[in-house]
C-alpha cells in the first residue's frame, strides 16, 4: 500500500513475547486513518521482508480485533483479504499481525487518477460480486440488519453515535431522528449474501488495475447485499452520479431498490 499523509513515524511498540521475533528489525509507522479506537501500525523497511500491519486494541476494541482475526482465517481460502501472520489475546488486549496488501486504495486511485475512474469502479464492483458469490451456506457469521439494529440501538442508548459524522443529507439530525426514519422503512425483504459490512473505498486495495483484497473485515457475515451496495454507492457519490450508475449496472442492477439504499445508509450512521 502507498503511504503519505495517512501515517506518521512511530517508535517500536511493545508486543507480547511470542510476537517479538515476527516484528524484529522493522521500522514502525502509525496509521492515522480509521483506527476506531485501536491502533494500527505499518511495519516496514526490513531487508528482504514484506511489509506487515499490526492492530492492537483493548477491551471492546480487542473484541473487534478478535472478530476480525476469526473472519480473516475463514476468508483465507478465498484469497480476498490479508493473511494472519500472528495473533495474541489476553483478558483485555488483542494484537493482530497481518500481511500488508500491495497497491493503493480505491479512494486514492479515484482521487489521483481521474482518467482511470471508470476502470477502478469496474474493478471494485467485480470484486464485490466475487465476494457476494461465496456460498452463504459456508459462512458461519451473521451480520444481518436485525443484529445490526440491536447493536445500533445499544450504541444510541449509550450515547456512542457520532452525530457530527452523519452524511450531509442528515446533517444536524439527532440519532433518534435517524432511528425513527430508518425503522419506518421496515420490514425488508431479505436477499442474503456474504457481505463485507463496510465496503468503502478506503478498504479496497488495487494494483495493476485489479483488486488485490479488502481490509477491515471485522463485519463480514451474511446480510442483505444492499449492506455493501449502499456503502459503495454512497462513497462513489463523492466523485459523481455517473460512477454510482456505472457500479450498479456493472453489478447487474438496473432498477436500484431505493428503499434498501436509504435504510442501509441510515443504519451505517450508527457505526
73 and 181 together in one domain: no
Q: Is 198 a catalytic residue?
A: yes
Please tell me the predicted confidence (pLDDT) of residue 4: 56
Please tell me the predicted confidence (pLDDT) of residue 33: 73
Reported as a single tens digit per residue, the pLDDT across 1-47 is: 545 567 899 999 999 999 999 999 999 999 887 556 689 999 999 99
Please tell me the predicted confidence (pLDDT) of residue 2: 46
Distance CA 210, CA 4 (A): 22
Residue ending a domain, among 77, 99, 121, is 99
136 and 245 together in one domain: yes
Query: Binding residue per annotation — 181?
Result: no
Query: Binding residue per annotation — 91?
Result: no
Q: What is the DSSP letter of 100?
A: P
Q: Which of 31, 198, 228, 257 does the annotation list as catalytic?
A: 198
Please tell me the predicted confidence (pLDDT) of residue 58: 94
179 and 114 together in one domain: yes
192 and 238 together in one domain: yes
Please tell me the predicted confidence (pLDDT) of residue 5: 66
Please tell me the predicted confidence (pLDDT) of residue 37: 67
90 and 123 together in one domain: no
- The H-or-E segment that residue 98 falls in is strand 93-99
46 and 143 together in one domain: no
Q: What is the DSSP letter of 76?
A: G
Please tell me the predicted confidence (pLDDT) of residue 6: 76
229 and 260 together in one domain: yes
147 and 43 together in one domain: no
CB 27 within 8 A of CB 45: yes
Q: Is the pTM of this model over 0.85?
A: yes
CB 103 within 8 A of CB 76: no
Residue 2 domain-assigned? no
What is the CATH number for 167? 3.90.1200.10
184 and 201 together in one domain: yes
CB 225 within 8 A of CB 132: yes
Reported as a single tens digit per residue, the pLDDT across 204-263 is: 999 999 999 999 999 999 999 999 999 999 999 999 999 999 999 999 999 999 999 999
Number of domains in the chain: 2
* Cell numbers 464492483: residue: 125
Reported as a single tens digit per residue, the pLDDT across 111-146 is: 999 999 999 999 999 999 999 999 999 999 999 999
40 and 77 together in one domain: yes
Provide the domain limits for residue 149: 104-268
72 and 127 together in one domain: no
Residue ending a domain, among 99, 116, 149, is 99
Amino acid at each position: 500500500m502507498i503511504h503519505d499523509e495517512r501515517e506518521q513515524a512511530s517508535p517500536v511498540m511493545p508486543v507480547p513475547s511470542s510476537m517479538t521475533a515476527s516484528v524484529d528489525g522493522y521500522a514502525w509507522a502509525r496509521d492515522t486513518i480509521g483506527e476506531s479506537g485501536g491502533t494500527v501500525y505499518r511495519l516496514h523497511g526490513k531487508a528482504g521482508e514484506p511489509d506487515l500491519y499490526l492492530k492492537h486494541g483493548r477491551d471492546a476494541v480487542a473484541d473487534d480485533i478478535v472478530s476480525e482475526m476469526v473472519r480473516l482465517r475463514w476468508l483465507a481460502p478465498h484469497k480476498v483479504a490479508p493473511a494472519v501472520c500472528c495473533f495474541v489475546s489476553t483478558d483485555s488486549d488483542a494484537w493482530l499481525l497481518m500481511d500488508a496488501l500491495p497497491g493503493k486504495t480505491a479512494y486514492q486511485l479515484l482521487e489521483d487518477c481521474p482518467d482511470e475512474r471508470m476502470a477502478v469502479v469496474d474493478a471494485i464492483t467485480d470484486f464485490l460480486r466475487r465476494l457476494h458469490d461465496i456460498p452463504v451456506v459456508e459462512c458461519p457469521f451473521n451480520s444481518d440488519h436485525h443484529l445490526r439494529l440491536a447493536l445500533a440501538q445499544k450504541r444510541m442508548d449509550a450515547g456512542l453515535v457520532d452525530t457530527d459524522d452523519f452524511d450531509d443529507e442528515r446533517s444536524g439530525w439527532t440519532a433518534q431522528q435517524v432511528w425513527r426514519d430508518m425503522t419506518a422503512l421496515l420490514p425488508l425483504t431479505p436477499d442474503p449474501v456474504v457481505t463485507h459490512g463496510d465496503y468503502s473505498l478506503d478498504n479496497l486495495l488495487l494494483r495493476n488495475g485489479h483488486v488485490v483484497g479488502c481490509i477491515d473485515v471485522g463485519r463480514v457475515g451474511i446480510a442483505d447485499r444492499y449492506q455493501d451496495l449502499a456503502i459503495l454507492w454512497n462513497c462513489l457519490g463523492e466523485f459523481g452520479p455517473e460512477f454510482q450508475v456505472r457500479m450498479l449496472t456493472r453489478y447487474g442492477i438496473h432498477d436500484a431498490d431505493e428503499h434498501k439504499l436509504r435504510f442501509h445508509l441510515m443504519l451505517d450512521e450508527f457505526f
